Amino acid sequence: MKIRLAVIALTCLFFAAKTFAQAPKARINHVAIYVMDVKKSGDFYINVLGLDTIPEPFHDGKHIWLKIGPGASMHIIQGAEAKKEYYKNNHTCFSVTSVPAFTDILRKNNIEWEDISGKKGSITTRVDGVKQIWLQDPDGYWIEVNDAKE
Protein backbone atom coordinates (compact mmCIF):
# COMPACT_ATOMS: atom_id res chain seq x y z
CA MET A 1 0.00 0.00 0.00
CA LYS A 2 2.84 2.39 0.87
CA ILE A 3 4.47 1.70 -2.49
CA ARG A 4 1.23 2.51 -4.33
CA LEU A 5 0.85 5.79 -2.45
CA ALA A 6 4.47 6.68 -3.17
CA VAL A 7 3.99 5.94 -6.89
CA ILE A 8 0.80 8.03 -6.99
CA ALA A 9 2.51 10.90 -5.13
CA LEU A 10 5.52 10.81 -7.45
CA THR A 11 3.25 10.72 -10.52
CA CYS A 12 1.32 13.75 -9.23
CA LEU A 13 4.56 15.60 -8.54
CA PHE A 14 5.87 14.76 -12.02
CA PHE A 15 2.74 16.11 -13.75
CA ALA A 16 2.60 19.19 -11.51
CA ALA A 17 6.25 19.98 -12.24
CA LYS A 18 5.70 19.50 -15.96
CA THR A 19 2.66 21.81 -15.87
CA PHE A 20 4.58 24.55 -14.07
CA ALA A 21 7.56 24.18 -16.40
CA GLN A 22 5.27 24.78 -19.38
CA ALA A 23 3.63 27.87 -17.90
CA PRO A 24 3.83 30.80 -20.33
CA LYS A 25 6.82 33.07 -19.82
CA ALA A 26 6.94 36.66 -20.97
CA ARG A 27 9.48 37.65 -23.61
CA ILE A 28 10.29 41.04 -25.08
CA ASN A 29 8.29 41.89 -28.20
CA HIS A 30 8.91 45.60 -28.60
CA VAL A 31 9.73 48.84 -26.87
CA ALA A 32 8.04 52.07 -27.90
CA ILE A 33 9.17 55.67 -27.70
CA TYR A 34 6.87 58.67 -28.13
CA VAL A 35 8.61 61.44 -30.06
CA MET A 36 8.09 64.97 -31.34
CA ASP A 37 9.50 64.37 -34.85
CA VAL A 38 9.27 60.80 -36.13
CA LYS A 39 11.51 61.50 -39.15
CA LYS A 40 14.27 63.08 -37.06
CA SER A 41 14.16 60.23 -34.53
CA GLY A 42 13.99 57.62 -37.26
CA ASP A 43 17.01 59.14 -39.00
CA PHE A 44 18.93 59.02 -35.71
CA TYR A 45 18.18 55.36 -34.99
CA ILE A 46 18.70 54.28 -38.62
CA ASN A 47 21.70 56.42 -39.64
CA VAL A 48 23.57 56.76 -36.34
CA LEU A 49 22.78 53.50 -34.54
CA GLY A 50 22.44 51.50 -37.76
CA LEU A 51 19.07 49.87 -37.01
CA ASP A 52 17.05 48.40 -39.88
CA THR A 53 13.42 49.26 -40.57
CA ILE A 54 10.76 46.58 -40.56
CA PRO A 55 7.22 46.77 -41.95
CA GLU A 56 4.73 48.66 -39.83
CA PRO A 57 0.99 48.28 -40.40
CA PHE A 58 -0.17 51.89 -40.08
CA HIS A 59 1.44 53.58 -43.12
CA ASP A 60 0.40 56.96 -41.71
CA GLY A 61 3.80 58.68 -41.47
CA LYS A 62 3.53 58.67 -37.67
CA HIS A 63 5.21 55.31 -37.01
CA ILE A 64 8.60 53.76 -37.73
CA TRP A 65 9.36 50.22 -36.64
CA LEU A 66 12.95 49.08 -36.25
CA LYS A 67 14.50 45.68 -35.60
CA ILE A 68 16.46 45.73 -32.34
CA GLY A 69 17.18 42.03 -31.94
CA PRO A 70 15.83 38.56 -32.67
CA GLY A 71 12.05 38.84 -32.47
CA ALA A 72 12.19 42.32 -30.92
CA SER A 73 11.48 45.76 -32.32
CA MET A 74 11.40 49.42 -31.41
CA HIS A 75 8.33 51.44 -32.33
CA ILE A 76 8.92 55.15 -32.84
CA ILE A 77 5.60 56.97 -32.55
CA GLN A 78 4.96 60.60 -33.53
CA GLY A 79 2.91 62.70 -31.12
CA ALA A 80 4.91 64.00 -28.17
CA GLU A 81 4.27 67.70 -27.63
CA ALA A 82 7.53 68.57 -25.87
CA LYS A 83 10.94 67.15 -25.12
CA LYS A 84 11.11 65.69 -21.61
CA GLU A 85 13.89 65.02 -19.16
CA TYR A 86 14.62 61.35 -18.52
CA TYR A 87 16.73 59.54 -15.93
CA LYS A 88 19.95 58.04 -17.27
CA ASN A 89 19.25 54.77 -15.47
CA ASN A 90 16.05 54.42 -17.51
CA HIS A 91 17.67 53.66 -20.84
CA THR A 92 17.87 51.35 -23.83
CA CYS A 93 21.19 49.63 -24.45
CA PHE A 94 22.65 48.60 -27.79
CA SER A 95 25.86 46.64 -28.27
CA VAL A 96 28.46 47.31 -30.96
CA THR A 97 31.70 45.51 -31.80
CA SER A 98 33.82 48.55 -30.88
CA VAL A 99 32.81 51.49 -28.72
CA PRO A 100 35.78 53.63 -29.87
CA ALA A 101 34.83 53.02 -33.52
CA PHE A 102 31.23 53.92 -32.70
CA THR A 103 32.35 57.21 -31.13
CA ASP A 104 33.88 58.08 -34.53
CA ILE A 105 30.36 57.91 -35.99
CA LEU A 106 29.11 60.15 -33.20
CA ARG A 107 31.90 62.68 -33.84
CA LYS A 108 31.07 62.77 -37.58
CA ASN A 109 27.43 63.49 -36.69
CA ASN A 110 28.28 66.06 -33.97
CA ILE A 111 26.56 63.96 -31.30
CA GLU A 112 27.81 64.24 -27.74
CA TRP A 113 28.29 61.27 -25.45
CA GLU A 114 29.52 60.75 -21.93
CA ASP A 115 30.61 58.12 -19.48
CA ILE A 116 28.46 56.84 -16.61
CA SER A 117 29.53 59.72 -14.36
CA GLY A 118 28.60 62.34 -16.96
CA LYS A 119 32.12 63.22 -18.17
CA LYS A 120 31.68 64.40 -21.77
CA GLY A 121 33.53 62.49 -24.50
CA SER A 122 34.66 59.73 -22.12
CA ILE A 123 34.22 55.98 -22.15
CA THR A 124 33.47 53.91 -19.05
CA THR A 125 35.13 50.54 -18.62
CA ARG A 126 33.06 48.35 -16.31
CA VAL A 127 34.63 45.97 -13.79
CA ASP A 128 34.02 43.13 -16.28
CA GLY A 129 35.98 44.96 -19.01
CA VAL A 130 32.96 46.03 -21.07
CA LYS A 131 33.31 49.54 -22.51
CA GLN A 132 30.21 51.74 -22.48
CA ILE A 133 29.06 55.25 -23.35
CA TRP A 134 25.83 57.15 -22.86
CA LEU A 135 24.06 59.51 -25.25
CA GLN A 136 20.61 60.92 -25.80
CA ASP A 137 18.39 60.64 -28.85
CA PRO A 138 16.67 63.73 -30.34
CA ASP A 139 13.88 63.54 -27.73
CA GLY A 140 16.19 63.07 -24.77
CA TYR A 141 15.79 59.32 -24.29
CA TRP A 142 18.99 57.87 -22.83
CA ILE A 143 20.88 55.23 -24.77
CA GLU A 144 23.79 53.14 -23.56
CA VAL A 145 26.12 51.74 -26.19
CA ASN A 146 28.53 49.03 -25.08
CA ASP A 147 30.73 46.29 -26.49
CA ALA A 148 29.32 43.43 -24.39
CA LYS A 149 29.47 40.04 -26.04
CA GLU A 150 26.36 37.87 -26.00
One DSSP character per residue, 108-139 reads HTT---B-TT--BT--EE-TTS-EEEEEE-TT
CATH class, domain 86-150, is alpha beta
Q: What is the CATH number of domain 27-82?
A: 3.10.180.10
Per-residue pLDDT of the chain (150 residues; tens, 9 = 90+): 566 655 555 555 565 556 566 889 999 999 999 999 999 999 999 999 999 999 999 999 999 999 999 999 999 999 999 999 999 999 999 999 999 999 999 999 999 999 999 999 999 999 999 999 999 999 999 999 999 997
The answer to whether 137 and 115 have CB atoms below 8 angstroms apart is no
Which pTM value belongs to this model? Answer: 0.84
For the chain, domain boundaries = 27-82, 86-150
Domains 27-82 and 86-150 in one fold: yes
How many whole angstroms from its chain centre is CA 7? 48
**pLDDT score of 16:** 55
d(CA 94, CA 102): 11
d(CA 143, CA 7): 55
**pLDDT score of 11:** 59
The answer to whether 114 and 123 have CB atoms below 8 angstroms apart is no
